[in-house]
């Protein structure tokens, strides 16, 4: 589908500078532009590309001042980055606007389904499940018995929701996500074997949550594992039974959270972090990559390391570690000098 510079400017409340009829049908980085492409310039480091880009239309900030001729048509807006993000969302919505129920999908006769659904091939909706309006279930999605999926939620191929899972409105679960598998509950017995503890709770995911591919969230032993509204989880994250993640917390890939750990609101957790079980993490905490969190974090801080320590202290420690070889040589030299002094004193 093609759009003119004028149509794009109207959508963004921008102003066209150049050919108002310039057409675009795809997007590209400004340095990789080609005819028919739409690009944007927000970072001053990329300004030189605007004089050589082959993109037909470029979105720029209102205060951009050209110092050489620009071949592309410009659209001036108050915030080029935000405007381009808005266009990408619009484009994504258009390309992902699937509807209809495949003849190869299965919906239980006891399930309740809303309007304007997309159910791809081999999507499954179990008994007494409730599916909201404008929901998209891509091929091979499994929605188990008693599950609830809210309005405008998208489940990409291969997502699995075990029984009684609740997913709120406007959520996105990417391919391979598994929600509601049994928590890792096993009781050691005197003879050395493990007795499985039934996991009878569920998982509740609130509104506006996005979960990356192949992330897993276990059902609670009792009660609910709960992901609060606005949480963003990357790919390949593991959240164990009875964990809780507070509103608007973001968590990067390969992080693992042990059972019954509560992470607060507005936290930022980098990749490959590991949390022990039964601890609380304060609202607003920021944790660096590959950190090990072994105890409660009672107030917001920037932390890193294993075990974690304040970021400034961690960086100082790392500076000392880099000098260990030099320090070791110095110590060896001092030992030699001391031995020499001892020998001289005996004479």
- CATH number of 73's domain: 3.40.1390.10
Residue whose entry in the numeric block shows the structure tokens 């499985």: 196
Q: How far apart are CA 300 and CA 293, in angstroms?
A: 14
Residues 44 and 122 in one domain: no
Domain count, the chain: 3
Q: Are residues 79 and 195 in the same domain?
A: no
Answer yes or no: 241 catalytic: yes
Collapsing DSSP states into helix, strand and coil, what is residue 24? strand
Is the domain of 209 the same as that of 305?
yes
Provide the CATH number for the domain around residue 242: 2.160.10.10
342 and 237 fall within a common domain: no
Of 63, 95, 127, which residue is a domain's last? 95
Which of 228, 241, 262, 320 is an active site residue?
241
Q: Which CB contacts under 8 angstroms, 24+ apart, belong to 96-101? A: 96/136, 96/154, 98/136
The confidence score (pLDDT) of residue 95 equals 75
- Whether residues 32 and 117 fall in one domain: no
Nearest to 275 by CA among 291, 252, 289: 291
**125 and 193 belong to one structural domain:** yes
pLDDT of residue 282: 98
**Considering 74, 95, 116, which residue would you say is the last residue of a domain?**
95
The pLDDT assigned to 347 comes to: 58
Count other C-beta atoms under 10 Å from residue 71's C-beta: 14
Identify whether residues 177 and 118 lie together within a single domain.
yes
Both 85 and 146 in one domain: the answer is no
Tens of pLDDT along the chain (347 residues) come to: 899 999 999 999 999 999 999 999 999 999 999 999 999 999 999 999 999 999 999 999 999 999 999 999 999 999 999 999 999 888 877 777 788 999 999 999 999 999 999 999 999 999 999 999 999 999 999 999 999 999 999 999 999 999 999 999 999 999 999 999 999 999 999 999 999 999 999 999 999 999 999 999 999 999 999 999 999 999 999 999 999 999 999 999 999 999 999 999 999 999 999 999 999 999 999 999 999 999 999 999 999 999 999 888 888 888 888 888 898 999 999 999 998 888 877 65
Supply the range of the domain harboring residue 288. Answer: 100-312
């Amino acid at each position: 589908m093609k759009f003119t510079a004028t149509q794009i400017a109207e959508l963004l409340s921008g102003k066209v500078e150049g050919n108002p009829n310039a057409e675009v049908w795809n997007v590209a980085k400004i340095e990789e532009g080609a005819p028919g492409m739409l690009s944007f310039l927000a970072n001053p480091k990329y300004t030189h590309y605007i004089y050589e880009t082959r993109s037909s239309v470029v979105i720029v900030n209102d205060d951009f001042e050209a110092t050489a001729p620009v071949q592309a048509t410009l659209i001036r807006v108050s915030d080029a980055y935000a405007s381009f993000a808005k266009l990408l969302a619009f484009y994504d919505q258009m390309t992902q606007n699937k509807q209809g129920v495949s003849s190869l999908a299965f919906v239980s006769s006891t399930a309740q389904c809303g309007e304007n659904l997309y159910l791809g091939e081999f999507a499954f909706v179990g008994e007494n499940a409730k599916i909201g309006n404008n929901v998209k279930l891509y091929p091979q999605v499994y929605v188990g018995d008693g599950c609830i999926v809210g309005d405008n939620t998208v489940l990409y191929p291969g997502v699995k929701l075990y029984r009684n899972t609740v997913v709120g409105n406007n959520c996105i679960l990417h391919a391979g996500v598994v929600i509601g598998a049994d928590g890792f509950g096993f009781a050691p017995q005197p003879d050395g074997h493990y007795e499985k503890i039934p996991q009878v709770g569920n998982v509740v995911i609130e509104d506006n949550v996005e979960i990356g591919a192949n992330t897993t969230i276990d059902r609670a032993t009792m009660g609910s594992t709960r992901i609060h509204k606005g949480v963003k989880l990357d790919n390949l994250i593991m959240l164990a039974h009875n964990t809780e993640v507070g509103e608007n917390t973001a968590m990067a890939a390969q992080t693992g959270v042990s059972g019954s750990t509560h992470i607060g609101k507005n936290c930022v957790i980098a990749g490959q972090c590991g949390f022990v079980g039964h601890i609380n993490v304060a609202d607003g905490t920021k944790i660096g990559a590959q950190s090990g969190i072994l105890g409660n974090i009672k107030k917001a801080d920037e932390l890193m390391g294993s075990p974690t320590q304040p970021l400034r202290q961690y960086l100082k420690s790392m500076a000392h570690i880099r000098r260990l070889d030099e320090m070791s040589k110095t110590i060896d030299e001092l030992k030699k000098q001391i031995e020499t002094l001892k020998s001289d004193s005996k004479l």
